A and B are shown apart, each in its own frame.
Chain A
Amino acid sequence: MYGLGIVKGLWVTVQHFVDTYTDDIRWLSKRYIDPDKLSYRQSSKGKGLFTVQYPEEKLEVPERFRYLPFLLYEEKPDGTKEDRCTSCGICAKVCPPQCIWIERTEDPVTKRPVPAPKAFFIDTDICMNCGYCAEYCPFDAIKMDHDYEIASYDRTGAHVYDKEKLSKPVSYYAGIRPTDYAAEEQARAEAEAKKAARKAR
């Protein structure tokens, strides 16, 4: 019968329409506030309305999510900060669009390089969020951030990140990427134990 195909199509849309309401009733008013419900709605089991009500509710990004890079520093017990970066330059070399500039510190007397960056710039207008810098950094000193809410009205000043703007504490990193952090800490502890064992021998 001519027109049956259209009716069948409409039946699919009606089902989707009804789904949105049955789901509403099922969760009652909790649907839009509860983060667990959001997570369920967004999973492959979810039915009905799929929309995330940003900014009231935010879809959590996965641990491996990468946006812009940031530099890590250790917070020492005495309150001072120590950069993990040794300015070895691997991130600058491995960066595909070459958006990282690093100035190495020189010892004022001996003129030999000191393992700490004097200046560190990332031009976020060039950065392609590929994550190579974090992947190949041998010191776990540069990592990819989760913060994506960084729209601005001006770019000349705001989009070139210097060392100060890039630096974030290790505790922040441990918060956004707990699994990676734990694995790295474990690997580091093992390496140190091996080193100590070798020394003891």
Chain B
Amino acid sequence: MTDALENPNYPVPDELKSNVIVTTIDRLYNWGRRSSVWPMMFGLACCAIEMICTAASRYDLSRFGMEVMRPSPRQSDLMIVSGTVTKKMIPVIVRLYNQMPEPKYVMAMGACASGGGPFKEGYNVVSGVDKFIPVDVYVPGCPPTPQALLNGLIKLQEKIDSQSIASVPWYQSGNSEPVPVPLLGPDLIDLRQRPLFNQLAKQPAAQAVTE
């Protein structure tokens, strides 16, 4: 029995191997969680169309218990960031993320959400949503086909499977800290960088970075 538990029949990614403590309760707990991941009904750009196709007739997300797309962040477990994240949109995305209850997962779907994508050089584009919120699974592609997205969702299920009720952060003491919502000034302002701003303002020589 223990052998089977220690060697689950799904591949456990290397970076998660150290914290795998599989117990029977964990199995039940994770089975419940992984079979009812409710994504947020939240589309940004081109990838959202492929996300809708994944939920539609041909690929049918409900086979994974994920068809309940919730329009409210309060009811959702997974945010699929499906498209280009712009500076004008990132404050909204961060706010939505802060409103999601734990446990929450984020998937960066497509090149744009992962790292800026083909529009990376643009003046209104954020170089990947992980600059602001933690991402659990990245799905490359521009846009990822529905099967690629499903592959990413299965990867997410594997990640959920590898977590243990004893060590998951949302049962530890206290609530998680919300991510500070960036502001829209002359350009996007990441408030976590306030010390850097002040330091730069003090030494005018370093301002060569900007025009």
Chain A residues proximal to chain B, CB less than 8 Å? 42, 50-55, 58-59, 61, 67-68, 96-99, 123-129, 148-155, 158-159
Instruction: Verify if B194 is at the interface (C-beta below 8 Å from A).
Output: no
In the bound complex, do residue A159 and residue B59 qualify as a contact, i.e. CB atoms below 8 Å apart? no
CA distance A129 to B118 in the complex (A): 10
Residues in chain A near residue B154, CB distance under 8 A: 55
CA distance A98 to B118 in the complex (A): 8
In the bound complex, do residue A58 and residue B57 qualify as a contact, i.e. CB atoms below 8 Å apart? no
Residues in chain B near residue A61, CB distance under 8 A: 145
Name 20 interchain pairs, CB-CB below 8 A, sorted by A.
A42-B58, A50-B57, A51-B58, A53-B63, A54-B150, A59-B58, A61-B145, A67-B145, A67-B148, A68-B140, A97-B119, A124-B111, A125-B128, A126-B116, A128-B118, A149-B147, A151-B151, A153-B16, A153-B155, A155-B114
CA distance A124 to B152 in the complex (A): 16
In the bound complex, do residue A155 and residue B148 qualify as a contact, i.e. CB atoms below 8 Å apart? no
Given contacts A123-B115, A126-B115, are A51 and B60 in contact (CB under 8 A)? yes
In the bound complex, do residue A54 and residue B141 qualify as a contact, i.e. CB atoms below 8 Å apart? no
CA distance A158 to B57 in the complex (A): 32
CA distance A159 to B145 in the complex (A): 18
- How far does the Cβ of B151 sit from chain A's closest Cβ, in whole Å? 4
- How far does the Cβ of B60 sit from chain A's closest Cβ, in whole Å? 5
Residues in chain A near residue B114, CB distance under 8 A: 125, 155, 159
Chain B residues proximal to chain A, CB less than 8 Å? 13, 15-16, 57-60, 63, 108, 111, 114-121, 128, 130, 135-142, 144-145, 147-148, 150-152, 154-155, 159
In the bound complex, do residue A149 and residue B151 qualify as a contact, i.e. CB atoms below 8 Å apart? yes
Nearest opposing residue in chain A for B139, CB measure: A151
CA distance A99 to B116 in the complex (A): 11
In the bound complex, do residue B137 and residue A51 qualify as a contact, i.e. CB atoms below 8 Å apart? no
Residues in chain A near residue B137, CB distance under 8 A: 151-153
Q: Which of A98, A99, A151 contacts B152 (CB 8 A)?
A: A151
In the bound complex, do residue B142 and residue A128 qualify as a contact, i.e. CB atoms below 8 Å apart? yes
Given contacts A51-B57, A68-B140, A151-B155, are A125 and B115 in contact (CB under 8 A)? yes
In addition to A61-B145, A150-B151, A151-B137, 12 A-B residue pairs with Cβ atoms within 8 Å of each other are A51-B63, A67-B141, A97-B120, A124-B140, A126-B111, A151-B139, A152-B155, A153-B15, A153-B159, A154-B15, A155-B128, A158-B138
In the bound complex, do residue A125 and residue B111 qualify as a contact, i.e. CB atoms below 8 Å apart? yes
Q: Which of B108, B135, B142 has the most CB of A within 10 A?
A: B142
Q: Which of B120, B138, B145 contacts A152 (CB 8 A)?
A: B138
In the bound complex, do residue A151 and residue B138 qualify as a contact, i.e. CB atoms below 8 Å apart? yes
Q: Which of A59, A128, A152 contacts B147 (CB 8 A)?
A: A59
Residues in chain A near residue B111, CB distance under 8 A: 124-128
Residues in chain B near residue A99, CB distance under 8 A: 118
In the bound complex, do residue A128 and residue B15 qualify as a contact, i.e. CB atoms below 8 Å apart? no
- How far does the Cβ of A130 sit from chain B's closest Cβ, in whole Å? 8
CA distance A96 to B120 in the complex (A): 12
In the bound complex, do residue A155 and residue B136 qualify as a contact, i.e. CB atoms below 8 Å apart? no
CA distance A67 to B144 in the complex (A): 8
CA distance A105 to B173 in the complex (A): 56
